[in-house]
Amino acid sequence: MRYLEVRRHTMRVKPGDHLSQAGVTLARQVGNKMGSFALVVTSDIARAFETAIAMGFAVDAQLPGLAQLGTAVEQEVAWDAGFAAFAHAVALGRATADYAQRQADLWRNIISQIPNGFSALAISHGGIIEAGAVACLPTADHASWGGACGYCEGVRLGFDGERFVSVEILRVKQSQ
């Protein structure tokens, strides 16, 4: 079995693209509780790259495919609508379905680069994680997965060498 963790970036200083101190602190706390990874990839947006570094991981590659939902998808479903809303949008068979399938294909490509028994980490963005996870496990009970992924939250997918077979929703309790 191989595992792929896909997590959302941490907090940034808006409207800028770089992490805030609170974001760095959260990423460090989360990173300290994570295991090791044979491969770490991020989107090509600074906040994703910086999140991986703040978590304590060197980045092996930056992939533009992990960066944006695109206008057509955003017209069908809000990026922060949650897993069930993305599953509904995918079921319509339009832009979100195409996007989600491309994301699942990208995730399969990432996981295929590591040996059996190892894990990979991808740092991405809101909505992208929900779309990709739905496409990786299309018959799952997506409503039970809950709302949108918050900062540093995501999914841990099990891959048996041919297909994704399991999911764990990774939630983060943020201290006030």
> Looking at residue 149, what is its pLDDT?
98
pLDDT tens digits, one per residue of 129-154: 999 999 999 999 999 999 999 999 99
Q: pTM of this prediction?
A: 0.96
Please list the ranges in the chain whose pLDDT falls under 50: 176
Residue 54 burial (CB count, 10 A): 22
> Looking at residue 176, what is its pLDDT?
44
Annotated domain spans of the chain: 2-166
Q: Name every residue whose Cβ is closer than 8 Å to that of residue 28 and which is 6 or more positions away in sequence.
A: 54, 55, 56
CATH class of domain segment(s) 2-166: alpha beta
Structure tokens at 168: 């764990």
- For the chain, helix (H) and strand (E) counts, in that order, are 6, 6
